[in-house]
Amino acid sequence: MVRLDRIGKRYGRGPWVLRDVSLAVEPGEVVVLRGGNGAGKSTLLRIAAGVTAPTNGRVSRGASVGYAPERFPTGVKLSARDYLRHLAAVRGVPVRWELTEALGFVGDPDAPMATLSKGNAQKIALAQALHATDLLVLDEPWSGLDAAASAVLGELVTSSRTAVVLTDHHGHDLPGAREVALGAARPGGVVIELDRVGEAFALISALEGVFAAHEVGGGARVEVRAGFSDGVLAEALRLGCSVRSVRS
Ligand SMILES: Nc1ncnc2c1ncn2[C@@H]1O[C@H](COP(=O)(O)OP(=O)(O)OP(=O)(O)O)[C@@H](O)[C@H]1O
């Protein structure tokens, strides 16, 4: 499990990326973090996994944590075989080679990790994380996976007995998963409600400063960081949307 209690995070003297976020994920539960680019999803995952310290608040978690970052560190000189052996030894568990087989790893297990294709390296990163028995933290785990591996990963995640917390820009179907939106409570943000959004939704949700966007009927509710609302409004109007309301 993992329990985050009133977490705040800023990098150095930069703006607050997370403020007052609380989240508890129980064994067997899957939580999917939602929020636009820059909402703080990866930051929250790193805090949950214990690789980044929060600025405020408390974290408690089980001892056996598996973390697969969004980007596998480049330059890992170990082979996939040695990498999995090493991490299993650190955890004091036997290597589960069947995980690499289930995910369809077809790279050379004895070649340096840095020479693997993106998808094969991702399968090794996921396999090492899936050895954890208390908490699984996965940042965009479907990135680079082929269709067969994507389906297997969905099954592994939903059948896991650990607490699972992940991000997924592509919205894979995970029956029973709980969605948690980040960014809604960001102070100084602006909520813009739009009509006649249609196909412009994807463009609007990717605009700079947008940290959450939800389709509502034919319109959208867009949460924007302070200082970005004028640009988002101008772009929404240019794309043919109409503005229903703007609230700070
Ligand atoms: N190491 C860092 N140093 C300084 N700022 C950082 C660092 N990591 C993240 N940030 C900032 O924190 C904010 C949140 O970033 P984060 O990567 O957590 O968001 P995200 O929701 O995962 O975004 P995306 O969907 O684009 O991956 C961004 O403004 C980012 O620039």
Residue nearest to atom 3 of ligand 1 (CA): 11
User: Per-domain residue ranges for the chain?
Assistant: 1-185, 190-247
What is the distance between the alpha carbons of residues 24 and 36, in angstroms, rounded to a whole number?
A: 21
State the pLDDT confidence band at 223, using cuts at 50, 70 and 90.
confident
Q: Which of 51-65, 72-86, 212-226 has the highest mean pLDDT?
A: 51-65
Q: Which CATH code for domain 1-185?
A: 3.40.50.300
pLDDT of residue 185: 46
Q: Which residues contact 155 (CB under 8 A, 6 or more apart)?
A: none
Instruction: State in Å: Cα 44 to ligand 1 middle.
Output: 10
Contact between residue 88 and residue 131 where contact means Cβ atoms under 8 Å apart: yes
* Residue 183 confidence (pLDDT) above 80: no
* Residue 184 confidence (pLDDT) above 60: no
pLDDT of residue 186: 54
pLDDT of residue 187: 56
The complex's ipTM works out to 0.97
Q: Is 190-247 in the same CATH topology as 1-185?
A: no
What is the distance between the alpha carbons of residues 242 and 187, in angstroms, rounded to a whole number?
A: 25
Mean pLDDT over 212-218 rounds to 77
Instruction: State in Å: Cα 5 to ligand 1 middle.
Output: 20
Instruction: State in Å: Cα 43 to ligand 1 middle.
Output: 6
* Residue 168 confidence (pLDDT) above 60: yes
pLDDT of residue 188: 65
Instruction: State in Å: Cα 38 to ligand 1 middle.
Output: 5
**Correct CATH for 190-247 of 2.115.10, 3.30.70, 2.60.40, 3.30.720:** 3.30.70
Residue nearest to atom 30 of ligand 1 (CA): 38
Ligand 1 pocket, residues with Cβ under 6 angstroms: 11, 14, 17, 35, 37-43
